[in-house]
Amino acid sequence: MKQIDTFACMATALLAITGVLSADDGGKPASQDITNRGSYYVNGEIHVNTYGQPEGKPLTTGHHDFKPSWSKTGDMLVFFRRLKNDPDVSKWKTAIHIIHADGTGLHQLTDGTHTDFNQTWTRDGRNTPIWNRKNPKTGGYVVMASKVGAKPGEEVPLTDKGHHTWSYTCLTDGRILVRSNPPGQGRGYYLMTPEENVNPKFERIECELAKTGVLDRVSLSPTETRVCFEFQRGFKRRVPGRTLYVADFDARSRRITNAKPFANKEGKQIWFAYPRWSKDESSIVYQAGGKLYLYKPEDGSTHKVSTDDKADYRYPHFEDAPK
């Protein structure tokens, strides 16, 4: 059977769019040769800065803005703004926004009446923003998509609201790495191909580690040959105490193998989270206890790259590297 052209599938699924549209993990201080630029959160504001250097003027201020994800083209960030707070994060009301990396062109994509999280970009050359939207009736999530410059209400679903699907990251061939429970296939990790009539194709990913716990906040390397992620042993949700892993990834055979821990191997009850690849794959940036760290897989070294120990740092990304 001829393999489905995933670019065409994404284009079909998005037809409506294109038509209208303080913990220290032992890391060393930042060294002088660390010059990677990225985006991240500090005390509710978004910054674009060179890791290891003091922050300048923030891109956004006066709001609570979260999880800036950098487009592959390097000129835009997508993030969510919290409009209504709640002790239960899943009850927040948020709005997806896009802003240029120089701080200009702020644009709101959604109307702020939904719970929209975990935004990122496709890697297929279309610069399509996607995210996860909570279904208030079921508590599950639906993968949504829009386009740069679209108006609130023009976003479209890529998955059926009848079952939960949570997107993590995208491949250049148009597939999306998700955690889902598609009908008849069971709960697990999949490569999902968006298709017509909100009827995506799900192909299961095999991973031995996933049999013993939860892989979360998965980041795919730019060459799409490795992943990094949080791992929680066991299946009862908990966030502090997770270990960060790096592993090999084969998109053709859909396998995650050779998983190795690189941060919080001891399982300290601290929030280790959001590992993200650099464009050249030489580094992984992550947060731990309100600070940012840079890990070098080649030599196993770790450096602290946040500079203000009194500030709350979170959600780091590298320039030109969608998660």
Q: Establish if 99 belongs to a structural domain.
A: yes
The CA-based angle 78-169-172, given to 5 degrees, is 100
pLDDT at residue 35, as a whole number: 54
Q: What's the token pair of residue 302?
A: 């770790």
pLDDT bracket for residue 321 (50, 70, 90) = confident
Q: Please give the tally of structural domains in the chain.
A: 1
Inter-residue long-range contacts of 29-34, CB under 8 Å, 24+ positions, other chains counted: 29/303, 29/304, 30/294, 30/303, 30/304, 30/305, 30/307, 31/303, 34/294, 34/303, 34/305
The stretch 133-137 carries a mean pLDDT of 95
Q: Establish if 254 belongs to a structural domain.
A: yes
Percent of the chain residues topping a pLDDT of 70: 89
Q: Establish if 214 belongs to a structural domain.
A: yes
Does 146 score more than 90 pLDDT?
yes
Q: Is 224 helix (H, G, I), strand (E, B) or coil?
A: coil
- The DSSP code sequence of 230-282 is EEEEBSS---TT-EEEEEEEETTTTEEEEEEEEE-TT--SS-EEEEEE-TTSS
Inter-residue long-range contacts of 200-203, CB under 8 Å, 24+ positions, other chains counted: 200/13, 200/158, 200/159, 201/4, 201/9, 202/178, 203/175, 203/254
pLDDT at residue 36, as a whole number: 86
The stretch 1-24 carries a mean pLDDT of 41
Q: Establish if 38 belongs to a structural domain.
A: yes
Q: What CATH code is carried by the domain that includes residue 195?
A: 2.120.10.30
Does 30 score more than 60 pLDDT?
no
User: What is the overall mean pLDDT for the chain?
Assistant: 90
Q: Establish if 204 belongs to a structural domain.
A: yes
Percent of the chain residues topping a pLDDT of 90: 82
Instruction: Choose the weakest-confidence range: 25-29, 48-52, 280-284, 291-295.
Output: 25-29
Q: Establish if 54 belongs to a structural domain.
A: yes
Does 20 score more than 50 pLDDT?
no
pLDDT bracket for residue 27 (50, 70, 90) = low
Does 151 score more than 90 pLDDT?
yes
The stretch 283-291 carries a mean pLDDT of 98
pLDDT at residue 322, as a whole number: 87
pLDDT at residue 197, as a whole number: 81
For the stretch 261-284, pLDDT in tens is 999 999 999 999 999 999 999 999
Instruction: Choose the weakest-confidence range: 95-99, 232-236, 247-251.
Output: 232-236
Q: Establish if 323 belongs to a structural domain.
A: no
Q: Establish if 104 belongs to a structural domain.
A: yes
The Cα–Cα gap between 13 and 1 comes to 21
The stretch 157-170 carries a mean pLDDT of 96
Tell which residue, 218, 206, 224, 16, has the closest CA to residue 120: 218
> Are the C-beta atoms of 157 and 194 separated by less than 8 Å?
no
Range of the domain at 69: 6-21+27-318
For the stretch 37-62, pLDDT in tens is 999 999 999 999 999 999 999 999 99
